[in-house]
Structures are given as structure tokens and as C-alpha cells.
């Protein structure tokens, strides 16, 4: 039996119910949907499983003047303890399919881990660097996710986007204006409905070996839960390996591994990783990150930039 959600009879809520009915959720806890497992609720929450769902959601929110946040896998996200006073659209556009012998199409809500495995099973090389990176395909494109010298932008062939007015369009990689941990989507706020990746046919055993090597290296230095991975971006420097100074190296030198705030701790095997060691709040994590930034700024004169996204108020 389908029932209407219980909600206070405010005007935006009643209009949203008219548009989405029982699909719309109210005061949905976001902490279980993030890798930090912290943060408050979304005032309105909707799961989008098709392009039509996304179009309907963004058009409805725009018409009602409601703030929107599009959520992928929640692996690179710190949600305020007060939550978000708007509509969170959780993207679950799924699907993985080969196109010819060199390309894979993936839904924007697909797991990046599943995409790597799908490519490996088909002896397609180019995504090995992404082994072990949590999150969705859309989120990986949004932030130009990368590791071990590789980035999503290097293998993207095209993407289908939905803009904030609900218009659907197909774009090539040049549209994304990829830079280190950046794409134009951070300004346009367009949603990745699906993407195609151009890869290189290779030897499956060699691809699996590289994937396993990267997974092993990650397991040595990365916790397996309650973290967003590296909190800060590396610092561009052409003289360094991969053209960057690791933020973790600077944090190591300033003794960041000894820092903690409440239930938030710097990971003992990687100074650029914050973990929820149990009972942490998002405020704990934010305050710890600020301490880490200050130590690096005071010692090296370098202001670290966050790699994660923040949602809601942290005042």
C-alpha cells in the first residue's frame, strides 16, 4: 500500500507532494548515505532513477525556488550537522554496457568500482588508476577523480548532462574544462546522466595485475570506512612526481597525525586522511581540518584546498 508521507503543511512541501507524491521523503537522514557517516537530514529528499526523474526534480525545485543539491555516492561529502534546508536528489541512474570493442557506457549513478571491474573483465585498459576509488561515475567526472597519474578526464569520450533548467544535452570532454580535481560542472551544477569512456584493448591478466597492485597499495594506507579519503588537494609543482607536492607529505611534516577533535582523528597511516573514529560529528571533522590547514599555512605558507564537498552551514 502506498501512503503519503507525513509532513508539516508548508507551501513548498504541499507543492512538492503534488509533483512527486510518495516518492518524496522528508527529513531524510543523510549520514548513512555518506562515507563519513556524519551530518544531519535533508529537508526534502528524492531518489532519481531515470533522466525523466532528474528533469522533473530540477524543474520542480526551480519553479518553487527550492535549493537543490545533487548527490552521488556520498564518498567525498561532508554534510553539516544541521543538515540541508533544501532538496537532495540522489542520483541512481544505473547501467553498464560495452559499445564496440573500445568503449563503455555507464550511468551517472553507477559505482566507479563497478566500472573498473566491468572494464577489466572485458580486457579494456585505461581505468586501472581508479581501482579502489569510492563514489559514483557522475561524481568522478564532476571532480575529475584521479590517482597514480591517471584522471577520469583522460578517458572520457562524451557525457549526457542535465542542466539546472532540465535541458538534456550531449557534450564531449572539452566541454568539461578538466583540471586537477576540477570540471566545469562545479560551476554549471549540471548532472551527469551517463558517460562513455574510450579505453584501450589489452591483456586481461596484465590489467588485473595493475588493478590488484593499486588496490593493495590503497589497502596499506587507506582506511576501509568512515572517511572521505584524502581531505585536501595536492599542490601543483612541475618539479615533483606527477607534477604535484602531496598534501600528505606537508601534513606529515607538521605532525598532523597527532591531531584529533572529538571523534575525528587523522589516520595514523596517512596524514591527509581524516577518519570518524567513532561518534564524530561533522563539526569535529571540520574543526580538525581547519587545524591541519593552519599548521601547514604557518609552517610552509601554503593554504591547503579541500578535495571534499561540503553541504549545509558550518558557521
| Per-residue pLDDT tens over the stretch 107-133 | 999 999 999 999 999 999 999 999 999
User: Is the model's pTM score more than 0.95?
Assistant: no
Q: In percent, how much of the chain has pLDDT > 90? A: 86
In the prediction, which pLDDT does 8 show? 45
Please state the domain extents for the chain: 11-91, 96-205, 224-311
CA 280 to chain centre: 20
pLDDT at 188 over 60: yes
Helix H, strand E, coil C: the string for 96-115 is EEEECCCEEEEECCCEHHHH
pLDDT value at 9 more than 60:
no
CATH topology identical between 11-91 and 96-205: no
Helix (H) or strand (E) holding 27: strand 25-29
Q: What is the pLDDT of residue 237?
A: 85
Query: What would the pLDDT profile of 141-173 be if each residue is shown by its tens digit?
Result: 999 999 998 999 999 999 999 999 999 999 999
- Over range 23-32, report the average pLDDT: 95
11-91: CATH architecture: 2-Layer Sandwich (3.30)
pLDDT digits (tens, 9 = 90+) for 78-94: 999 999 999 999 999 99
**pLDDT > 50? residue 5:** no
Average pLDDT of every residue of the chain: 93
Integer Cα distance of 12 and 47 in angstroms: 18
> Is pLDDT of 308 > 60?
yes
- Provide the b/e sequence for 131-168 (b: ≥16 CB within 10 Å): bbbbbbbbbbbbbbbbbbebbbbbbbbbbbbbeeebee
Determine the pLDDT at residue 244.
86
Q: Domain 96-205 maps to which CATH number in 3.30.465.10, 3.60.130.10, 3.40.30.10, 3.20.20.70?
A: 3.30.465.10
- 224-311 under CATH 3.40.47.10, yes or no: no
pLDDT of residue 10: 60
**Among 82, 67, 132, 92, CA closest to 286:** 82
Amino acid at each position: 500500500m502506498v501512503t503519503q508521507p507525513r509532513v508539516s503543511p508548508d507551501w513548498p512541501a504541499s507543492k512538492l507532494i503534488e509533483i512527486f507524491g510518495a516518492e518524496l521523503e522528508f527529513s531524510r537522514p543523510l549520514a548513512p548515505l555518506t562515507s563519513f557517516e556524519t551530518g544531519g537530514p535533508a529537508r526534502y529528499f528524492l531518489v532519481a532513477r531515470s533522466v525523466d526523474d532528474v528533469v522533473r526534480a530540477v524543474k520542480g525545485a526551480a519553479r518553487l525556488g527550492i535549493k537543490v543539491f545533487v548527490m552521488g555516492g556520498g564518498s567525498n561529502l561532508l554534510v553539516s550537522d544541521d543538515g540541508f534546508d533544501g532538496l537532495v536528489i540522489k542520483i541512481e541512474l544505473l547501467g553498464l554496457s560495452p559499445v564496440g570493442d573500445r568503449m563503455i557506457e555507464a550511468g551517472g549513478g553507477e559505482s566507479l568500482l563497478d566500472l573498473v571491474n566491468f572494464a577489466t573483465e572485458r580486457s579494456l585498459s585505461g581505468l586501472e588508476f581508479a581501482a579502489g576509488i569510492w563514489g559514483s561515475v557522475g561524481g568522478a567526472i564532476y571532480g575529475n577523480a584521479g590517482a597514480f597519474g591517471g584522471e577520469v578526464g583522460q578517458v572520457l569520450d562524451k557525457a549526457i548532462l542535465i542542466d539546472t533548467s532540465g535541458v538534456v544535452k550531449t557534450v564531449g570532454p572539452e566541454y568539461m574544462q578538466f583540471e586537477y580535481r576540477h570540471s566545469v560542472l562545479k560551476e554549471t551544477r549540471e548532472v551527469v546522466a551517463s558517460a562513455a569512456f574510450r579505453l584501450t584493448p589489452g591483456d586481461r591478466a596484465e590489467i588485473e595485475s595493475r588493478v590488484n597492485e593499486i588496490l593493495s597499495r590503497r589497502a596499506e594506507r587507506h582506511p576501509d570506512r568512515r572517511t572521505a579519503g584524502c581531505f585536501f588537494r595536492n599542490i601543483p609543482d612541475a618539479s615533483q612526481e606527477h607534477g604535484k607536492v602531496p598534501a600528505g607529505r606537508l601534513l606529515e611534516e607538521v605532525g598532523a597525525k597527532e591531531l584529533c577533535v572529538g571523534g575525528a582523528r587523522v589516520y595514523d597511516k596517512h596524514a591527509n586522511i581524516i577518519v570518524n573514529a567513532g561518534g564524530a560529528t561533522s563539526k569535529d571533522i571540520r574543526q580538525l581540518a581547519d587545524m591541519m590547514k593552519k599548521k601547514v599555512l604557518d609552517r610552509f605558507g601554503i593554504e591547503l584546498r579541500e578535495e571534499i564537498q561540503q553541504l549545509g552551514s558550518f558557521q
